[in-house]
Amino acid sequence: MAKPDDRSDNVAKLQDMIQDTMENMREARDFLKAHGEEMRAEDRARLEAKNERREQAIQGFREEIQDELPYARTEE
């Protein structure tokens, strides 16, 4: 028989994913600030586009958190 779906820690996992993604965005911005003028235009544009996708992913994670809140584990 299949295990029941345990969604109790999904919010915590999503929050970790947001933090990791935000850190990657900061590192990319810092890299662009330090080395952007040395980079080829297409590489710089690719990195900027990746950060835009990261921002969209963060928004999606936040929406998913709202969906998962009813199943979240409560601290006791």
pLDDT of residue 74: 64
Q: Kindly state the tokens that stand for 5.
A: 């779906």
Is residue 36's pLDDT more than 50?
A: yes
Share of the chain above pLDDT 70, in %: 96
Confidence (pTM): 0.85
pLDDT of residue 76: 41
Residue 63 DSSP one-character state: H
What value does the CA radius of gyration of the chain take, rounded to a whole number of Å?
17
